[in-house]
Structure 1
Amino acid sequence: MTLPRGGGALSPRRVLRIAFLLVALGFGAWAVAGQWDAVSSGFARLSWRALALSVVAVVGALFGGMLTWRALLADLGSPLPVRQAAKVFFVGQLGKYIPGTVWPVLAQMEMGRDLGVPRSRSAAAFFLTMPVQLGSGLLVAAATLLAAGPGSIAPYAWALLLVPLLAVLLEPRVINAVIGFGLRRLRREPLERALTRKGMLAALGWALTGWIAYGLHLAAIIAELGSSVEALRLVAFSVGAFALSWCLGIMTVVVPAGAGVREVAMVAVLSPVLDQGAAIAAALCSRIVIIAGDLLCAGVAAATAARSVEKRQVDQEAGGVRVEENDARRNAL
């Protein structure tokens, strides 16, 4: 006998999650509406082909970020199926549009707990993802901007001073010591498993893949806004320009998702290949495409994970019915 699936009152946790999504979507819509005139004029200069390529590349980049986080979480002892990992990561990441830095990690900790991931492990994976992306982003920016032209990186060489520090911090022995110290100060239990070099390398590999995809998304936009740079150099420049502007934006943690800071940095970095008006249009179009990508990934991941759970429940119920029918036949005999 199976119990009917039905509604009932929403639990406080479900109400809280719905409220989180509504607030995050509200701030995301506000970020778009506040610059809509400039954004719409920029999009008017883009072909549908360039826009489609940009969106596809952004989705690939966001997926690379999810796999970076997933690799760290798995190395810490909580491997998740891709569907479930995508739901936790992408839905949680919507919190970055809310002012403050705690919302994404709180959301990931809450959703991860439903999948058996300890909160301390979710928090560790979240905070480790940031320096992995920052360190890999600065390295990618240095390599690609130098390849595109030495003058492109010269004004921002000071940012590269962080690379040696991040390289030290990304050494697993150092990371494990820092995490252990932090947990002791917070009077929390230590992590069951320490981060390994293999796990760190896997995370760095996915992060590098994400930067390349982000560069392709920006190149598709720049190519339509008046840049005359040859294709390969434009791609290399775009990868470095996006990585550098993202890193500068993420250093300003008081602004939701680096809003404003990343765009200002991108306009400055794009000055060698675009005039100021086109650079502003490129920065704003890039931001809107990324917001759209965040929403698309979160929606698809949540829907896919929900269908997976529903299918598993149906299979379990069908299995239960078959067991009861077999028991009834045996009793009849």
Structure 2
Amino acid sequence: MKNKHALRLTASILLMAGVLWFFWSQVRRHWDQLEHLHLHFFWPAMLLALVLVLIHYVIATLAWRTVIVGKSGQPLTITQSIGLSNISQLTKYVPGKVWSYAIQMHLLAAHGISKSRVLSVNVIMLLSLTGSSTVIGTGYLWFSGMILPRPLSALIFSAALTAYLLLVFGGTWTANLLVRLINRLFRQRIDTFDAPLATMIRAHGLNLLSNLLYGISGYFVAIGIGMPSDFALIVPISAAMLLSDTVGFFVFLAPGGIGVRESVMYAMLKSAVDIQTCFVLPLAFRLVTTINDLILGGTAAVLLNHFSKRSTRRSAADDLQL
């Protein structure tokens, strides 16, 4: 166990060292363009980006609630859903990625929702969000012909699109197939679940909409740090935001995908925007998303504390009546 922990720690250190070396080499290479860097912040655009990311999270929460409630019709209000789903924003930078699910399992047990259903739904919602992000991101890579050879990017895009369409229109059959696969590969005991196809398609549609808003928010962050307005850049910037976020999430060695997300974003934007924006945008976007994490996580903590106190008062009132 100690050897495994030491190996993981070593791999994390090497990864972060590689990321730092990559950015340092790029700074040295483009120093003549960066030494006279002057940022001109346009705060209305930054505020709009912040709001768009916030809406992204809220819409994703509605998608999560659509499936977590399911046919059972558990009494879970929108406000409760925001609290229960987004408390995980405070744990996303903690190594391990599983703390968010553990907290949800504990809290949702009081609402009569099984731990297995919580885990299953979260896995499917994660695949839904990352699936649409991957399709958009790899589609742009194929179209632009950058980073990867076109035949390879076309193959990756085709595989991502096929998998995503199967996830969306396969309903719970595809979802449960993935659950069984995860059980076999990782020796887990996650139960399958049932939900109407219309419910699943609606949830996937909400997740797609939330991702589109998330990608577009990156464009307004770029405007906010002084990039000239050019609507043609919405597509490359959105694709970079989405694909880099997905890659960063799945790199378990970097908490919150720190460094990895920024590296992918930089690589995708290097040929699309000026070098100053290319360097600053990943950092500015990280700042915007971190602020949203704190806002949503803090709001969720306040809401859950309020619900807990109300439940305690209700229980005390019931005891007095008895």
TM above 0.5, yes or no, is yes
Is the 1:86–1:301 contact (alpha carbons within 8 Å) kept by the matching residues of 2? yes
Is the 2:227–2:277 contact (alpha carbons within 8 Å) kept by the matching residues of 1? no
Which of 76, 82, 89 aligns to 1:86? It is: 82
Is the 2:46–2:224 contact (alpha carbons within 8 Å) kept by the matching residues of 1? no
Equivalent residue number for residue 144 of structure 2: 151
Task: Measure how far apart 1:78 and its partner are.
Answer: 6.2
**SS in structure 2 of the partner of residue 97 of structure 1:** coil
Question: Would you say 1:167 and 2:165 are equivalent positions?
Answer: yes
* Residues 137-187 of structure 1, C-alpha deviations (whole Å, 9 max, x = no match): 1233356x48xx932667355642333234335522122234357669968
Among the aligned pairs, what percent are the same residue? 22
Measure, in 2, the Cα distance between the counterparts of 1:290 and 1:254: 20
* Residues 214-265 of structure 1, C-alpha deviations (whole Å, 9 max, x = no match): 123211111244544622x233333222112222223323322222111111
The one-letter code sitting in structure 2 at the alignment partner of 1:49 is P
Task: Measure how far apart 1:76 and its partner are.
Answer: 6.9
Q: Structure 2 matches for 1:233-244, cutoff 5 A? A: 233-244=232-243
Equivalent residue number for residue 330 of structure 1: none
Structure 2 CA distance for partners of 1:315 and 1:165, relative to 1, 3 Å = closer
Task: Measure how far apart 1:133 and its partner are.
Answer: 0.8
Measure, in 2, the Cα distance between the counterparts of 1:250 and 1:313: 37
* Residues 11-30 of structure 1, C-alpha deviations (whole Å, 9 max, x = no match): xxxxxxxxxxxxxxxxxxxx
Equivalent residue number for residue 6 of structure 1: none
Q: Structure 2 matches for 1:210-221, cutoff 5 A? A: 210-221=210-221
TM-score, normalised relative to structure 1: 0.71
Equivalent residue number for residue 4 of structure 2: none
Give the unaligned 5+ runs of structure 2.
1-19, 21-26, 28-35
> CA RMSD of the aligned region, Å?
3.5
Is the 1:94–1:294 contact (alpha carbons within 8 Å) kept by the matching residues of 2? yes
Is the 1:64–1:210 contact (alpha carbons within 8 Å) kept by the matching residues of 2? yes
The one-letter code sitting in structure 1 at the alignment partner of 2:166 is V
* Residues 25-54 of structure 1, C-alpha deviations (whole Å, 9 max, x = no match): xxxxxxxxx9xxx9xx99953222122112
Q: Structure 2 matches for 1:195-210, cutoff 5 A? A: 195-210=195-210
Question: Would you say 1:65 and 2:27 are equivalent positions?
Answer: no
Is the 2:132–2:164 contact (alpha carbons within 8 Å) kept by the matching residues of 1? no
Measure, in 2, the Cα distance between the counterparts of 1:86 and 1:123: 17
Greater mean alpha carbon deviation, residues 208-217 or residues 292-301: 208-217
The one-letter code sitting in structure 2 at the alignment partner of 1:60 is I
Structure 2 CA distance for partners of 1:124 and 1:93, relative to 1, 3 Å = farther
**SS in structure 1 of the partner of residue 92 of structure 2:** helix
Measure, in 2, the Cα distance between the counterparts of 1:280 and 1:76: 47
Question: Would you say 1:100 and 2:99 are equivalent positions?
Answer: no
Is the 1:96–1:257 contact (alpha carbons within 8 Å) kept by the matching residues of 2? yes
Question: Would you say 1:123 and 2:119 are equivalent positions?
Answer: yes
Greater mean alpha carbon deviation, residues 215-224 or residues 154-163: 154-163
Equivalent residue number for residue 49 of structure 1: 44
The one-letter code sitting in structure 2 at the alignment partner of 1:151 is S
Equivalent residue number for residue 294 of structure 1: 293
Q: Structure 2 matches for 1:240-319, cutoff 5 A? A: 240-307=239-306, 310=309
* Residues 277-296 of structure 1, C-alpha deviations (whole Å, 9 max, x = no match): 32121001101110110110
The one-letter code sitting in structure 2 at the alignment partner of 1:290 is T
Equivalent residue number for residue 177 of structure 2: 177
The one-letter code sitting in structure 1 at the alignment partner of 2:89 is Q
Measure, in 1, the Cα distance between the counterparts of 2:197 and 2:37: 44
The one-letter code sitting in structure 1 at the alignment partner of 2:294 is L
Structure 2 CA distance for partners of 1:188 and 1:274, relative to 1, 3 Å = closer
Which of 82, 91, 112 aligns to 2:108? It is: 112
Rg larger in structure: 1
Measure, in 1, the Cα distance between the counterparts of 2:316 and 2:164: 50
Structure 2 CA distance for partners of 1:112 and 1:316, relative to 1, 3 Å = closer
Measure, in 2, the Cα distance between the counterparts of 1:115 and 1:43: 52
Question: Would you say 1:137 and 2:133 are equivalent positions?
Answer: yes
The one-letter code sitting in structure 1 at the alignment partner of 2:144 is G
The one-letter code sitting in structure 1 at the alignment partner of 2:61 is M
Which of 65, 69, 72 aligns to 1:74? It is: 69
Give the unaligned 5+ runs of structure 1.
1-33, 325-333
Measure, in 2, the Cα distance between the counterparts of 1:65 and 1:280: 29
The one-letter code sitting in structure 2 at the alignment partner of 1:66 is T
Measure, in 2, the Cα distance between the counterparts of 1:136 and 1:251: 15
Is the 1:176–1:195 contact (alpha carbons within 8 Å) kept by the matching residues of 2? no
Measure, in 1, the Cα distance between the counterparts of 2:273 and 2:44: 20
Measure, in 2, the Cα distance between the counterparts of 1:67 and 1:107: 19
